C-alpha cells in the first residue's frame, strides 16, 4: 500500500505551526491520516511567509507520502484474524 495524504495547516508570523489549523485536506486511510496530522503537528519552526518584508501568516497544503511493505501489512492482518474466539 502506498499513497499520500494532503494536510492543510497555517504557519504563524513567528514560524510556528498553528496546531488547531492542522486538518486532512485529502484522505488516504484513517490511520494514515492520523499519522500525517501527528507528523505535521510535530514539525519544527518554519521560516514565516513574508509580504513586503514583513512576516505574515501563510496557509500550506503539504503532501505526506506513505509506502507500506505489503508483506508486513498482510502478515499483521493475518495475525489479527487468527485471534478469533470459539
Domain membership flag for residue 86: no
Domain membership flag for residue 41: yes
Domain membership flag for residue 35: yes
Tell me how many domains the chain contains: 1
What would the grid cell of residue 45 be? 519552526
Tens-digit pLDDT profile for residues 2-34? 899 999 999 999 999 999 999 999 999 999 999
Contacts of 45 (CB under 8 A, 6+ apart): 14, 15, 16
Tens-digit pLDDT profile for residues 30-84? 999 999 999 999 999 999 999 999 999 999 999 999 988 776 656 555 555 555 5
Domain membership flag for residue 62: yes
Parent domain of 40: 2-81
Domain membership flag for residue 67: yes
Residue 65 per-residue DSSP state: E
Amino acid at each position: 500500500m502506498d499513497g499520500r495524504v494532503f494536510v492543510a495547516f497555517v504557519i504563524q508570523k513567528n514560524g510556528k505551526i498553528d496546531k488547531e489549523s492542522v486538518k486532512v485536506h485529502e484522505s488516504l486511510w484513517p490511520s494514515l491520516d492520523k499519522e500525517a496530522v501527528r507528523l505535521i503537528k510535530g514539525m519544527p519552526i518554519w521560516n514565516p511567509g513574508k509580504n513586503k518584508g514583513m512576516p505574515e501568516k501563510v496557509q500550506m497544503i503539504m503532501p505526506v507520502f506513505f509506502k507500506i511493505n505489503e508483506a508486513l501489512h498482510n502478515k499483521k492482518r493475518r495475525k489479527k484474524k487468527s485471534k478469533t474466539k470459539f
